[in-house]
Structure 1
Amino acid sequence: MSKNSSIATHSLSNYFILITVIVVAGISQGLLLPVLSIFLEERGVSPGLNGLNAAALYIGSFAMTLIAERLLGAIGFKRLIVSGLVLVMFALVLFPYIPDIRVWFMLRLIVGLGDSALHYAAQLWVLLVTTPEKRGRYISLYGMSYGLGFSIGPLGIKLLGYGEAVPFWVLFVCLAAVFMLVLIKLPDARPEKTEQGERPERRFRRSFAWAWYALLPAFLYGYMEAGMNSNFPVYGLRIGFDANEISSLLPFVGIGGLLLQLPLGMLSDRFGRKAVLMFAGIMGGATFLVFPLAGTHFWWALVLLTVAGGLVGSFFSLGLAYAADILPKAFLPAANVVASFYFTIGSMIGPNLGGQLIHWFSPGSMFVLLGVLYMLFGIGGLLFKRKPSKEFVVE
Structure 2
Amino acid sequence: FPLRIVLHIALTVLFILSEFWISTSAPPHRRGLVLGIYATVLSLGFAAGPWLFAHLGSSGFRPFGVIIALVTLAAIPVLAARNESPSIASDGETSNFLRYIWLVPSATAAVLVFGAVETGGFALFPIYGSRIGYSEADAALLLTMIGLGNVLLQIPIGMISDRVSDRRYLLIACATVGLIGTVFMPFFAQNWHLMAALLFVWGGVVAAMYTIGLAHLGSQLSGHELASANAAFVLCYGVGMVLGPQAIGIGMDAFGPSGFGWSLGLFFAAYIALVAVRLVRKILL
Q: Please indicate, yes or no, whether the TM-score normalized by the shorter chain is above 0.5.
A: yes
What is the distance in 2 between the residues matched to 1:358 and 1:315?
A: 25
What is the distance in 1 between the residues matched to 2:29 and 2:103?
A: 21
Gaps of 5+ in 1: 1-59, 61-86, 92-108, 388-395
Instruction: Give the secondary structure class of the aligned counterpart of 1:193.
Output: coil
Which letter does structure 2 place at the counterpart of 1:279?
A
How far off is 1:343 after superposition?
0.5
Which letter does structure 2 place at the counterpart of 1:351?
P
Contact 2:247 2:263 in 1 (8 A): no
Counting only pairs closer than 5 Å after superposition, residues 329-344 of structure 1 correspond to structure 2 as 329-344=223-238
Q: Does 1:195 align with 2:91?
A: yes
Counting only pairs closer than 5 Å after superposition, residues 122-201 of structure 1 correspond to structure 2 as 122-152=18-48, 159=54, 165=57, 175-187=67-79, 188=82, 191-196=87-92, 198-201=93-96
Contact 1:151 1:252 in 2 (8 A): no
How far off is 1:169 after superposition?
9.0
Which letter does structure 2 place at the counterpart of 1:304?
L
Contact 1:154 1:247 in 2 (8 A): no
Q: Deviations over 1:38-63 (max 9, x none)?
A: xxxxxxxxxxxxxxxxxxxxxx9xxx
Counting only pairs closer than 5 Å after superposition, residues 243-392 of structure 1 correspond to structure 2 as 243-272=136-165, 273-295=167-189, 297-384=191-278
What is the distance in 2 between the residues matched to 1:265 and 1:234?
A: 32
Q: Deviations over 1:215-247 (max 9, x none)?
A: 211101100111122111222233333332232
Corresponding residue pairs, total: 276
Which letter does structure 1 place at the counterpart of 2:13?
A
Which letter does structure 1 place at the counterpart of 2:214?
L
Gaps of 5+ in 2: none
How far off is 1:190 after superposition?
6.9
Contact 2:181 2:202 in 1 (8 A): yes
Contact 2:183 2:265 in 1 (8 A): yes
How far off is 1:260 after superposition?
1.9
Contact 1:211 1:327 in 2 (8 A): no
Q: Measured at CA, do residues 219 and 190 of structure 1 come closer, stay the same or move farther in structure 2, by a change above 3 Å?
A: same
What is the TM-score with the length of structure 1 in the denominator? 0.62
How far off is 1:384 after superposition?
2.3
Which letter does structure 2 place at the counterpart of 1:316?
Y
Q: CA RMSD in A?
A: 3.1
Contact 1:144 1:258 in 2 (8 A): yes
Contact 2:89 2:223 in 1 (8 A): no
Matched with 2:113 is 220
What is the distance in 2 between the residues matched to 1:368 and 1:177?
A: 44
Q: Measured at CA, do residues 185 and 133 of structure 1 come closer, stay the same or move farther in structure 2, by a change above 3 Å?
A: closer
How far off is 1:291 after superposition?
1.1
Instruction: Give the secondary structure class of the aligned counterpart of 1:192.
Output: coil
Name which structure has the greater RCO, CA cutoff 8 Å, separation 6+: 2
Q: Measured at CA, do residues 364 and 175 of structure 1 come closer, stay the same or move farther in structure 2, by a change above 3 Å?
A: farther
What is the distance in 1 between the residues matched to 2:256 and 2:105?
A: 33
Which letter does structure 2 place at the counterpart of 1:275?
Y
Contact 2:178 2:206 in 1 (8 A): yes
Identity of aligned pairs, percent? Answer: 25
Matched with 1:234 is 127
Contact 1:258 1:310 in 2 (8 A): yes
Moved more, 176-185 or 344-353: 176-185
Contact 1:208 1:338 in 2 (8 A): yes
Instruction: Give the secondary structure class of the aligned counterpart of 1:384.
Output: helix
Counting only pairs closer than 5 Å after superposition, residues 99-118 of structure 1 correspond to structure 2 as 112-118=8-14
How far off is 1:123 after superposition?
1.4
Matched with 1:20 is none
Q: Deviations over 1:288-318 (max 9, x none)?
A: 2221333353222211211111211111121
What is the TM-score with the length of structure 2 in the denominator? 0.83
What is the distance in 2 between the residues matched to 1:327 and 1:312?
A: 24
Matched with 2:103 is 210
